[in-house]
Amino acid sequence: MNNWEIAQIFNEIADLLDILGESPYKSRAYRRAAHQLSNTYLDAFQLYQEGRLKEIPGIGDALAGKIEELITTGKLRYYDELREKVPASLRQLLLIPGIGAKTAQIIYQHLQPRDLAELETAAREKRLRELPGIGIKTEEAILRGLEALASSKKRLLLNHAFSIAGEIKDYLQSLSGIKMASIAGSLRRGMETVGDLDFVAVAHDPLTAIEELAAAPFLQELLIAEDCQLSLMTKWGIRADIMVVQPEHYAAALQYMTGSKDHNEELWVLARRSGWEISEKRLYSSKKEPPPSSEEELYSRLGMLYIPPELREGRGEIQAAIKGDLPNLLEECDIKGDLHVHSRWSDGVNSLEELAKEARKRGYQYLAVTDHSKSLYVARGLTEGRVWEQREEIRRINQRFSDFRLLAGIEVEIRPDGSLDFNDDLLAEMDIVIASIHSGFNQDEKTLTERVVGAMQNKHVDIIGHPTGRLLGRREPYSIDIDQLLKVAAATGTALEINSSPDRLDLCDRYIRRGKELGVCFAVNTDAHNLHFLDDLQYGVLQARRGWLERDDVINTMSFEQLSDWLQRS
Ligand code: DGT
Ligand code: CA
Ligand code: CA
Ligand code: ZN
């Protein structure tokens, strides 16, 4: 049970308490605890083991007891009791984003919809607006909420997917019948979100292993169990497909399950031409040879270089592999420092000193502190005066290191009218300038594009932060002319950010690839507001690889000296 799962249960408890008309203080306490749990880097399980659960703000004796019960038994009696008191179809209504307990209750009383589909029909037929206390606005909000629910249910963010998949993989490997297990599917390819989780497990006796698997603690429902294929719904609400094979078929099965579908189909055409047979189980074999013992061998037998999973999208990688000119992809260890991090000076949680120490511990040569600028009030953006004060502290910290440098940066607002939050004199004094949009998302394409283009034409601006502003599953990219953005970035030598935060991953892989063709340079940054999120870099590197980037396409692979020269380019 991880923080995220506990938080989900606490949020649901809060909703149930509201439905049952219990004191609002009670539900508020659960919501606050859920918020803390999903936003802290402290791991509830570890805290529990160390007897320190109450160090999480908002967690007192009672809630600590509930967390303990969840962690130790996987269940919570209190939660089950509440659920029994509220009908299932009413509980479903609470899943819709933007629907509170009160609205849910009104709908339930008057319509008693059996499921969400029935509710959607009622909303489309404009019957909800007739109910007391529900107007046209709420009806529209419900339709939007249903849509958001459908799309958020569909795909999981990478950080959650990796954490759940890791747990499933560990479990598979703990079974006596299974020798080893690997993650496959879109997760192995590092796609920005995943629809379900795929695994290949090796067993000498696949059928027995599948029987053993039927007792998995995370199994909610067995969907398919035939031959060597197992498909199950997990308690996390995401499906897991597990292919169990004998050792000699492992490489071919892994290749098949990794996909993508487009990549596989292209490959099969080639395979058939060179005399390979592909059985129903999609295993490569020929009459003369045994199955390939590794993916490397599989690709090599088909006459091409090994193709890294991130490239397997049917976007020209097979032709490139045959010609022998696949890119030499960027690796996490190529990154020499992070160029977008927030400190306590604006809306981050760490001091400059903590950030510097952590970055140095990771082996970085530099770290750019880029707090928000003044007009972003919600994030406590810095005024000019505070910028100078912060610089002074950065200077003092830097005196202590000979092998590491904090860069004095700023994430300056591109205001709705296209101007920047600070004048050129101040920007000229900064070591590094990121320009970003955090407001006026609803402007038309021309205005938005001009705002960003204008910022890139300012010679002090080094990087455009999260260039399309999307939040995966929550907010569409703002309307911006991507091709123009990429062309101006190339012409002005402005780097575009690959923001590694798993809910952004902005730019996305397709735009990265197009940018590389146009000669754009990139910065893979975390935008961490907490030093633990410097780990998010791994997701940004995956997207960079999916965009075919090599080390030289990325500015923060440079040494400190090279980067300093780059920053002083005119
Ligand atoms: P997802 O789950 O939507 O994030 O994306 P994938 O790529 O993980 O897709 P999934 O889980 O449906 O299938 C896993 C892999 O299995 C897929 O990448 C390639 C292979 N595969 C599945 N169905 C087919 C198919 O109909 N044809 C071919 N060629 N390969 C398939
Ligand atoms: Ca999948
Ligand atoms: Ca699947
Ligand atoms: Zn930022």
**Is the same domain home to 371 and 310?**
no
Residue 122 belongs to domain with CATH number: 1.10.150.110
Three-state SS across 306-336?
A: CCCHHHCCCCCHHHHHHHCCCCCECCHHHCC
Percent of the chain with pLDDT over 90: 67
Give the C-alpha separation, 243 to 405, whole Å. 48
Instruction: Give whole-number Cα distances, 437 to 348, 482, 497, in Å.
Output: 18, 15, 13
- Say how far apart CA 32 and CA 65 lie, in whole Å: 16
Percentage of the residues of the chain whose pLDDT score is greater than 70: 97
120 and 36 within one domain: yes
- Judgement on whether residues 190 and 238 belong to the same structural domain of the protein: yes
Q: CB of 190 closer than 6 A to ligand 1? A: no
Tokens at 537, concatenated? 């870099």
Q: How confident is the model at residue 275 (pLDDT cuts 50, 70, 90)?
A: confident
Q: Is the pLDDT of residue 76 over 90?
A: yes
Distance (Å, whole) CA 30 – CA 449: 43
CA-to-CA distance for 140 and 174, rounded, in angstroms? Answer: 49
Tell me: do 426 and 505 sit in the same domain. Answer: yes
Q: Residue 53: which residues within 8 A CB-CB, separation 6 or more? A: 44, 47, 59, 64, 67, 68
- Over the stretch 144-163, which tens digit does the pLDDT of each residue have? 888 877 766 668 999 999 99
- Based on the domain organization, do 266 and 339 belong to the same domain? no
Q: Which residue has the tokens 């090994």?
A: 306
Which range marks the domain in which residue 471 is found? 332-567
pLDDT (0 to 100) of residue 407: 98
240 lines ligand 1 (CB under 6 A): no
Record the tokens describing residue 439, joined without a space: 């407001």
pLDDT of residue 279: 65
Report, as an integer, the average pLDDT of 74-80.
93
φ/ψ (deg, to 5) at 290: -70, 165
Strand partners, 277: 285
Reported as a single tens digit per residue, the pLDDT across 256-272 is: 999 999 999 899 888 88
Question: Which ligand is closest in space to the CA of residue 409?
Answer: 4
Atom of ligand 1 at shortest range from CA of 196? 2
Expressed in angstroms and rounded, the spacing between residue 262 Cα and the centre of ligand 3 is 14
Same domain, 119 and 89: yes
> Which ligand lies nearest to the CA atom of residue 242 in the structure?
3
Taking the CA of 165 as reference, the closest ligand is: 2
Q: Residue 461: CA atoms inside 13 Å, Cβ hemisphere, count?
A: 30
The structure tokens listed for 50 are 């160390």
Counting the structural domains of the chain, the total is 3
Residue 504's CATH number: 3.20.20.140
Question: Of 270, 301, 323, which residue sits at a domain end?
Answer: 323
pLDDT at 329: 98
Q: Is pLDDT of 433 > 70?
A: yes
Helix residue ranges per DSSP H, 86-205: 88-93, 101-111, 116-124, 136-154, 158-174, 185-188
Residues 483 and 527 in one domain: yes
Ligand 1 pocket test target in 197, 231, 232, 264 with most atoms within 8 Å of CB = 264
- Proximal ligand: closest to the CA of 410: 4
Distance CA 561, CA 570 (A): 16
Per-residue pLDDT, averaged over 416-441, amounts to 96
Q: What's the confidence (pLDDT) of residue 367?
A: 98
Q: What is the pLDDT of residues 156-201, one digit of tens each?
A: 999 999 999 999 999 999 999 999 999 999 999 999 999 999 999 9
Task: Please report the beta strands in 360-514, taking only residues with DSSP state E, as ranges in sequence order.
Answer: 366-372, 405-413, 432-436, 463-464, 495-499
Structure confidence at residue 223 (pLDDT): 87
Tell me: do 164 and 294 sit in the same domain. yes
CA of 256 to the centre of ligand 1 (A): 8
DSSP conformational letter for 382: B
Q: Determine the atom of ligand 1 nearest the C-alpha atom of 155.
A: 4
Q: 36-62: per-residue pLDDT in tens?
A: 887 676 788 888 988 999 988 889 999
The yes-or-no verdict on residue 347 having pLDDT over 60 is: yes
Q: Is 185 in the pocket of ligand 1 (CB under 6 A)?
A: yes
Cβ 194 under 6 angstroms from ligand 1: yes
Atom of ligand 1 minimally distant from the CA of 186: 8
End-to-end CA distance of the chain: 52
**Same domain (yes/no): 305, 375:** no
Among 530, 485, 175, which Cα is nearest to 344's? 530
Residue nearest to atom 5 of ligand 1 (CA): 186
User: Residue 406 — pLDDT band, cuts 50, 70, 90?
Assistant: very high
Global pTM reads: 0.79
**Atom 30 (ligand 1): residue with closest C-alpha?**
261
| pLDDT the model gives residue 155 | 87
Q: The tokens of 456 are what?
A: 């890139």
What is the structure's pLDDT at 281? 60
- What is the Cα–Cα distance from 91 to 324, expressed in whole angstroms? 56
CA distance 373 to 371: 7
Span 100-120, mean pLDDT?
86
Q: Ligand 1, from 260, 268, 318: best to mutate by most atoms within 8 Å of Cβ? A: 260
Of 93, 124, 152, at which residue does a domain stop?
152
pLDDT at 152 (0 to 100): 61
Whether 76 and 33 have beta carbons less than 8 Å apart is answered as no
pLDDT at position 454:
98
| Residue 407 shares a structural domain with residue 508 | yes
Q: Whose CA is nearest to atom 16 of ligand 1?
A: 257
Atom of ligand 1 nearest to the CA of 264: 29
Name the band, by pLDDT with cuts 50, 70 and 90, for residue 345.
Answer: very high
Could you tell me if 35 and 162 lie in one domain? Answer: no
pLDDT digits (tens, 9 = 90+) for 308-320: 999 999 999 999 9
Residue 260 Cβ < 6 Å to ligand 1: yes
Boundary-marking domain end, from 281, 305, 323:
323
Cα 407 to averaged position of ligand 3 atoms, centre (Å): 44
CA-angle at 215, arms to 213 and 220, nearest 5°: 100
**Distance, CA 194 to ligand 4 centroid (Å)?**
25
Peptide bond into 285 cis (omega under 30): no
Nearest to residue 468, comparing CAs of 396, 543, 406, 538?
543
199, 258, 261: which to mutate for ligand 1, most atoms within 8 A of CB? Answer: 261
Return the CATH number at 162: 3.30.460.10
Written as one letter, the residue type at 12 is E
At residue 393 the predicted structure's pLDDT band, cuts being 50, 70 and 90, is very high
pLDDT at 283 over 70: no
At 7-37, the pLDDT tens digits run 889 988 998 998 888 888 999 999 989 888 8
Output the average pLDDT for the chain. 92
Q: What is the dihedral of CA 343, 347, 350, 351, to 10 degrees?
A: 50
The answer to whether 417 and 396 have CB atoms below 8 angstroms apart is: no
Q: Is 524 helix (H, G, I), strand (E, B) or coil?
A: strand
Q: Which two tokens stand for residue 502?
A: 């798993």
Identity of the amino acid at 87: P
Q: Considering only CA atoms, which of 404, 409, 403 is closest in space to residue 343? A: 409
Q: pLDDT by residue (tens digit) across 462-496?
A: 999 999 999 997 788 888 999 999 999 999 999 99
Specify the higher pLDDT residue, 305 or 292. 305
Could you tell me the CA-to-CA distances from 495 to 428, 480, 499 in Å, in that order? 17, 17, 12
Is pLDDT of 302 > 70?
Answer: yes
| pLDDT for the residue numbered 3 | 81
Ligand 1 and 192: CB distance under 6 A: no
- Per-residue pLDDT band at 231 (split at 50, 70, 90): very high
Tell me which ligand sits closest to the C-alpha of residue 186: 1
- Which pLDDT belongs to residue 280? 53
Helix (H) / strand (E) element for 220: namely strand 219-226
Q: How far is residue 411 from each of residues 130, 366, 421, 428, 557, measured CA to CA in Å?
A: 48, 17, 10, 14, 20
Same domain, 164 and 295: yes
pLDDT in tens, 496-527: 999 999 999 999 999 999 999 999 999 999 99
24: which 2 tokens? 């609002």
Q: What angle do CA 14, 53, 12 make, to 5 degrees?
A: 15
